[in-house]
Amino acid sequence: MKKTIIVRFSIKPEFISRIRAASKDLLEQTRQEAGCLAFNFYQCTENPSDFIFYEKFKDREAVQLHNEAIYVQDFLAVIKESSQIDMDLEVFD
């Protein structure tokens, strides 16, 4: 069953450019995954510190493989260091 994931996070202003740069590598590599159907990154126009990932994978196994990838772990480390608040993650079938 397809999985859609929405990830929201807020970054300290001094880390915005770092997050934007780190997201480029994540986007490129994730979009090449066999199980990735969509993977988009958005920055809020009203509050530039707020970001959203819209992700769609073919099934739960594809999500698990994605989450285990080293480039995902590297990006999450940057988020952890840069965040103002905890990430909000929602999964939809």
CATH of the domain at 22: 3.30.70.100
Q: What is the pLDDT of residue 87?
A: 86
Q: Pick the residue with more confidence: 78 or 84?
A: 78
Count how many domains the chain has: 1
Q: What is the pLDDT of residue 85?
A: 79
pTM above 0.85, yes or no: yes
Q: How far is CA 72 from CA 1, 11, 28, 45, 53, in A?
A: 22, 17, 11, 25, 12
Give yes or no for a contact between 78 and 18, defined as CB atoms under 8 angstroms apart: yes
Write out the residue range of the structural domain in which residue 25 sits. 3-92
Q: What is the pLDDT of residue 84?
A: 82
Whether pLDDT at 25 is above 90: yes
